[in-house]
């Protein structure tokens, strides 16, 4: 028997073999592993799960099914259970071996209720409800749920601030949690070393799940409702057919023992999900890694202690009877490249060189572990993804092929909530909750089969799993995958000599880029020169040298705070220059689609909530909805004149044609939503993507007209070029599409420019703007300016579970017309019944930073939380937007808002807040119309001096 303390010392020295369970000291750290698993191990749950028996299917295969779920782990069992519970009784679960045989059987089974995401908190709450209550009520069987509580360890102020944010969010959902001092923590957990603690967060109703008990009970409950669970039945193929419209659809599932005809396949195969996807021609961007924990011998006094997560040490301590399981996330995980189809109830040898950092952290936290023996090691495969979030939803390549995989070792705790949402997705076409963060369509199709991107991003997400979740975090892995024509110019490189005097600001301020959807987009402009993003250094793992003097990473590090970031004044300057003068925003990463064809008008009427069939030359801001009236997107739609092709500025169109400009971070989601609707409604029209073929700059501010009038060959007066219209014109000799629009609340135009013309047009804008002190500004400024104006950000203020009525966007819906559109019936019903929730703007007088998730109180009762918050530099106040409910279940109207006393809770501190029914900035929309006070420029000039 090896003691943990001895293990640390031996590995730290010359690393001889520790015990029969440990790998030899001569084995080096591996970047990749092709080793076969060690099949016999002393591991938890083995006696319960490893059933000897025949090699054939445990039940006969039906000829057909409404849906076939593949994979008998946590997600597969939860999905088939929820499908059956929702009424789909002719559903089959196929497991190639026995239930939980792949990765679920060896999971730690922890459930933590608080996460920095409202949706995840709700998903976890449902899992807990199913495991701790519903299944036992339905079946009379215990699942093995143990409610021993959870304890989050903070070794510094920032970590405790993060926990306080979680505590405030938890109040909205009724989750009990307590911030404890080191002394209080010691009273709760006497064996813990608290000398280096800053504080802890204690959640009494967290707990532990038993994989065997849970999946067995789920299987029985699903079977009782008519589902069929078949073990020992590997899938050998997925049949896909192509319909009359050229759309690929699932047809059948093939096995050695027969074929099941089905329109729906659900890929819950975990580590093996990529291979299953290949059978249907579906890309599944996940990767397999070794993930490990050790189980200690008995520890006196550990009984009934809460589970512990010491994020700063990257280690967790799970109570296991009178012992502990110790595991965590390292910076040099071992990849499993050659995934074996024969792997079942099997484990790898533990790489002690990799794992030992967790032992060191565990001993520091619970010193008694130094003299505690190791009973067993558990090192199995887990699937990990590029952003440490699951892969869910219908695959873009094949209709009827759904994903429920890539759960990053959190399949047990997320399984209940995700199983329910996936079942709803399959039956009703969309989930109930906002699942965009898990939807496979969040990734651009150019990335999902890019092995470099998958591997690097998955590694970084694994290594940072226990890092503090800061508001302005950016990835370092797989950057510069998609860059626009302005990229090098904005970075401060490759400026042509004649422009140096115009672009002094660029050489002094290098662009600090953000990554969205693979694109590099401007975040803000650093005053100390260029800060390029370098190739990924794997955080120094695998004997790869870390990047030295990495300016971009250093700037990010300074931004990692829950206070106002150190570059707050830079964002302020970008914002106020836009408000008082003129700024240029590079928005090239936007999605740019054309909708054309014989049924284009029918499609536009059905797809878009607003009436976009105005006269050619009009541009309309609109939403796209789902059947429940939820907002799948917001975008601008420009009606084009029929004519011959002038690509990329205009497609060939004999009839109606529309130009769609969509936020770049959600372009893939929008593309697939539109394609799905076109297919479902059998519209005869085409959707084409010109996102990579055009750049886009937005010139905004009171002086934008003066700047652009010098380079555009068209009259920019209000009479000649009204707000929300567009024209093709010449800009410094280059054809562009100019649109009079604003996402910041100022007079301004967007220029949509063919790729080869981008740099010369940009240079002409900067030259014309030099005498007006034009500057470049980034998306951090857009975030501030847009929230100040009250403009919505999709997937922040506006999500698929928010209707336009709730979001204050009723004006985007053609309710006064008789034109049918997707979601209209739901909106009419909601309007008749009254809103039970709605978005509200709040301001506070104190200058304290908020970023979203802060709790909203009305008369001392929690009624919601902020979705988004930022500082409004023009009104000089912190602004937040959040949806509120009536705690009595009644209607939320203007009187309900006006009659309440509101407060926002940030990290446990409550601040009085003022609600606003309209934006506190320019509520009359004068500025976007170009209406400024007569003395505006004189006042601005005086203030500037």
Residues in the chain where the model's pLDDT stays below 50: 1, 11-53, 493-508, 938-945
String of DSSP letters for 140-159:
S-----B---EEEEESSHHH
Angle between helices 118-129 and 157-172 (to 10 degrees): 60
- Give, in order, the Cα–Cα distances in Å from 381 to each of 49, 270, 289: 17, 9, 5
pLDDT of residue 489: 87
Whole-angstrom Cα distance, residue 833 to residue 397?
39
- Give, in order, the Cα–Cα distances in Å from 15 to each of 6, 310, 370: 11, 26, 17
DSSP state letter for 130:
I
Whole-angstrom Cα distance, residue 74 to residue 64?
24
Structural domain boundaries in the chain: 145-207+288-380, 467-512+519-561, 591-775
Angle between helices 568-580 and 779-789 (to 10 degrees): 60
- Burial class of 897 by CB neighbour count within 10 A (0 to 12, 13 to 18, 19+): middle
pLDDT of residue 653: 84
pLDDT of residue 7: 56
Whole-angstrom Cα distance, residue 693 to residue 706?
28
pLDDT of residue 2: 57
Whole-angstrom Cα distance, residue 609 to residue 625?
7
pLDDT of residue 746: 98
Whole-angstrom Cα distance, residue 680 to residue 674?
10
**Torsion angles phi and psi, residue 52, rounded to 5:** -80, 150
Q: Which residues contact 895 (CB under 8 A, 6 or more apart)?
A: none
Q: Which residues contact 503 (CB under 8 A, 6 or more apart)?
A: 489, 495, 766
The rounded Cα 44 to chain-centroid distance in angstroms is 33
Architecture of domain 145-207+288-380: 2-Layer Sandwich (3.30)
Q: Which CATH number fits domain 591-775: 3.30.379.10, 3.40.50.970, 3.30.2180.10, 3.30.1360.120?
A: 3.30.1360.120
DSSP-derived 3-state class of residue 196: coil
713-761: pLDDT as tens digits = 999 999 999 999 999 999 999 999 999 999 999 999 999 999 999 999 9
């Amino acid at each position: 028997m090896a003691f943990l303390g001895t293990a640390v010392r031996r590995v730290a020295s010359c690393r001889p073999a520790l015990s029969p369970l440990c790998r030899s000291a001569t084995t080096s750290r591996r970047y990749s592993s092709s080793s076969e698993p060690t099949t016999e191990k002393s591991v938890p749950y083995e006696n319960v799960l490893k059933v000897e028996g025949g090699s054939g299917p445990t039940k006969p295969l039906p000829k057909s099914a409404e849906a076939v779920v593949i994979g008998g782990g946590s997600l597969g069992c939860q999905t088939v259970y929820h499908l059956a519970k929702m009424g789909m009784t002719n559903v089959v679960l196929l497991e190639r071996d026995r239930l939980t045989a792949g990765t679920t059987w060896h999971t730690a089974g922890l459930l933590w209720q608080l996460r920095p995401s409202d949706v995840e908190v709700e998903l976890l709450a449902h899992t807990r409800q199913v495991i701790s209550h519903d299944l036992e009520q339905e079946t009379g069987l215990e699942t093995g749920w143990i409610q021993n509580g959870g304890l989050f360890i903070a070794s510094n102020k920032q970590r405790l601030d993060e926990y306080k944010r979680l505590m405030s969010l938890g109040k909205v959902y009724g989750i009990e949690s307590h911030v404890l001092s080191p002394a209080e923590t010691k009273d709760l957990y006497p064996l813990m070393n608290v000398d280096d603690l800053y504080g802890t967060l204690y959640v009494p109703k967290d707990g532990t799940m038993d994989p065997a008990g849970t999946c067995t009970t789920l299987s029985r409950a699903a079977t009782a409702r008519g589902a069929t669970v078949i073990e020992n039945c590997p899938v050998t193929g997925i049949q896909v057919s192509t319909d009359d419209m050229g759309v690929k659809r699932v047809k059948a599932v093939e096995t050695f023992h027969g074929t099941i005809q089905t329109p729906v396949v659900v890929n819950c195969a975990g580590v093996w999900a990529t291979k299953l996807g290949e059978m249907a021609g579906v890309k599944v961007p996940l990767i397999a890694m070794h993930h490990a924990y050790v189980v200690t011998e008995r520890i006196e006094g550990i009984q009934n202690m809460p589970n512990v997560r010491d994020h700063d040490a990257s280690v967790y301590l799970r109570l296991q009877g009178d012992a502990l399981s110790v595991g965590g996330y390292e910076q040099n995980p071992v990849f499993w490249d050659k995934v074996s189809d024969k792997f079942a109830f099997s484990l790898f040898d533990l790489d002690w060189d990799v794992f030992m950092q967790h032992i060191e952290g565990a001993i520091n936290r619970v010193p008694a572990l130094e003299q505690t023996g190791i009973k067993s090691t558990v090192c199995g495969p887990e699937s990990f993804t590029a952003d440490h979030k699951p892969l869910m939803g219908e695959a873009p390549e094949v209709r009827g092929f759904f994903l429920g995989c890539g759960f990053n070792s959190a399949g047990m705790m997320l399984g209940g909530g995700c199983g329910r949402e996936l079942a709803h997705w399959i039956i009703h076409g969309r989930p109930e909750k906002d699942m965009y963060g898990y939807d496979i369509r969040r990734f651009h199709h150019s990335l999902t089969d890019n092995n470099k991107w998958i591997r690097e991003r998955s590694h970084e997400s694994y290594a940072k799993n226990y890092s503090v979740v800061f508001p302005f975090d950016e990835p370092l892995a797989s950057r510069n995958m998609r860059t626009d024509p302005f990229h090098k110019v904005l970075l401060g490189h490759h400026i042509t000599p004649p422009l140096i005097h115009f672009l002094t600001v660029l050489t002094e301020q290098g662009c600090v880029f953000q990554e969205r959807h693979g694109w590099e987009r401007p975040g803000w402009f650093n005053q100390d020169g260029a800060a390029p993003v370098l190739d990924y250094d794997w955080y120094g793992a695998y004997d790869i040298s870390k990047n030295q003097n990495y300016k971009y990473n250093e700037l990010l590090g300074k931004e990692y705070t829950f206070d106002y970031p150190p570059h707050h004044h830079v964002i302020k300057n970008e914002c106020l220059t836009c408000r008082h003068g003129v700024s240029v925003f590079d928005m090239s990463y936007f999605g740019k689609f054309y909708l054309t064809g014989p049924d284009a008008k029918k499609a536009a009427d059905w797809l878009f909530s607003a009436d976009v069939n105005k006269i050619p030359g009009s541009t309309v801001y609109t939403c796209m909805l789902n059947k429940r009236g939820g907002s799948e997107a917001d975008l601008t739609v420009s009606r084009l004149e029929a004519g011959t092709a002038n690509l990329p500025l205009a497609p060939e169109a004999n009839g109606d044609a529309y130009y769609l400009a969509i936020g770049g971070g959600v372009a893939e989601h929008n593309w697939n939503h539109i394609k799905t609707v076109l297919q479902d409604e059998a519209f005869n029209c085409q959707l084409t993507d010109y996102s990579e073929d055009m750049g886009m700059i937005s010139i905004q501010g009171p002086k934008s007209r003066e700047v652009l009038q010098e380079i555009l060959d068209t009259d920019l007066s209000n009479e000649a070029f009204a707000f929300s219209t567009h024209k093709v014109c010449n800009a410094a000799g280059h054809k562009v599409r100019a649109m009079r629009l604003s996402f910041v609340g100022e007079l301004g135009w967007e220029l949509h420019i063919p790729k080869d013309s981008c740099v010369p047009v940009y240079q002409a804008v900067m030259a014309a703007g030099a005498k007006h002190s034009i500057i470049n500004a980034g998306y951090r400024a857009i975030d501030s300016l847009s929230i100040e104006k009250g403009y919505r950000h999709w997937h922040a203020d506006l999500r698929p579970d928010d209707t336009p009525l709730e979001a204050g966007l009723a004006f985007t819906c053609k309710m006064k017309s008789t034109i049918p559109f997707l979601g209209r019936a739901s909106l009419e019903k909601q309007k008749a019944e009254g809103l039970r929730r709605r978005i509200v703007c709040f301001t506070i007088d104190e200058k304290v930073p908020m970023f979203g998730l802060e709790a909203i109180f009305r008369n001392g009762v929690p009624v919601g939380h902020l979705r988004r918050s930022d500082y409004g530099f023009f009104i000089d106040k912190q602004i937040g937007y959040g949806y509120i409910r009536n705690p009595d279940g009644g209607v939320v109207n203007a009187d309900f808002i006006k009659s309440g006393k509101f407060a926002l809770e940030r990290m446990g501190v409550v601040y009085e807040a003022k609600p606003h029914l309209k934006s506190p900035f320019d509520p009359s929309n004068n500025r976007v119309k170009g209406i400024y006070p007569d003395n505006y420029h004189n006042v601005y000039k005086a203030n500037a001096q």
